[in-house]
Amino acid sequence: MGSSKTKMTERSLPMNPAAAENAGSHEITNNRSTQQAREVIPPKQCCCQNGLFKNGKWKLPFRLQIATLIISIIIAGGIALSRGSSEVLPTALPSPSTPAEYCPDGWIGYRRKCYYFSESEGNWTSSQNYCASFNASLVVIDSQEEMSFLRRYKGPADHWIGLQRMDDQKPWKWINDTIFNNWFKIRGGGTYAYLNHQGVASASSASEEPWICSKPGRSTVLPPALPSSTSAECCPDGWIGYQRKCYYFSDSEGNWTYSQNYCASFDASLVVIDSQEEMSFLRRHKGPADHWIGLQRMDDQEPWKWIDGTIFNNGFEIRGGGTGAYLNHLGVASGTSGNEELWICSKPVDVAVEVLVWPCFCNGLGENQ
């Protein structure tokens, strides 16, 4: 932020005739002494535009004195604050373009954790080793809400999680060595646990499955004035952070207009899809149901436009002859805007909060961790 400089312009104050005369006579008296400084004897009282000149001193009006005092206090407070804040904040906060990410590239942020859902398969041990290479582990599930998130996003495939036991006579333990408290059922007689479409099951370590890694989001120094609760995170509570955007996948249905109005109530909109990577993320997380997106047209003779007014560049095929676009299992289709569907909201991450507040799940800001 640039600092503004105020230039003070001095005005020549008019001198009254008596003062001029006194000054002139005094100068004549001393004109022989070239080494002596000339001086002008001020009048006893002289009115001016901004105050009074009395007894050799300027006397400002009361209101102007008060204003001057207030300005002085503000300046002094600003200097003190700038000096004191250096003890709390880092000397240089990262700008949005610097590598300041909180989840590695390709990971997903949700409720103070970063998650990686693998595309390839491996046994339980190799899966854990992969996670460890990112200073993470196979996922430890702490709540039913986290369980629901994982089951929804993993898709139809089974995925290893960080739960194991030595044999069927030993207790289940999480990868962090915490004993499992049996808050969900584990089906099967194996020694390593995985998520499937029913919940959690078990198999031998030799089985090949995709896996889920997790780790805490990276933290930064938090100014005392900002809260550390989830309400101060990059994305609203219950939303998902991915590639500098926040997403909300609805559980209820509505027509296209109702869905957009819901998103707008969160200062968001129906999702605008900017890349194939974002498309893949959305299709994977939405599950089998269709979801409205922020693409519409007035009729089948008009061009498609995103909700932000941008004309669609035909980056993907839109099937059907409707006026409202939605994601389905094949890609993007269209239907009547009055149809009832689920929807996806999105909005940009709050950059100011992104830099300052922990945790903030914003992928793609820098290199992998």
Q: Averaging pLDDT over each range in 97-106, 250-259, 284-293, which range is the top one?
A: 250-259
Confidence (pTM): 0.56
Confidence at 262, pLDDT banded by 50, 70, 90: very high
Say what the pLDDT of residue 282 is.
92
Confidence at 339, pLDDT banded by 50, 70, 90: very high
Rounded Cα distance between 21 and 274, Å, is: 81
Residues 265-282, mean pLDDT to the nearest whole number? 93
The amino acid at 255? N
Tell me: pLDDT of 369 over 90. Answer: no
Tell me: pLDDT of 96 over 60. Answer: no
Confidence at 21, pLDDT banded by 50, 70, 90: very low
pLDDT tens readout for residues 52-87: 344 444 444 554 455 556 555 555 554 444 444 333
Cβ(221)–Cβ(347) below 8 Å:
no
Cβ(304)–Cβ(333) below 8 Å:
no
Say what the pLDDT of residue 102 is.
65
Burial of 19 (0-12, 13-18, 19+ CB in 10 A): middle
Burial of 116 (0-12, 13-18, 19+ CB in 10 A): buried
Cβ(112)–Cβ(121) below 8 Å:
no
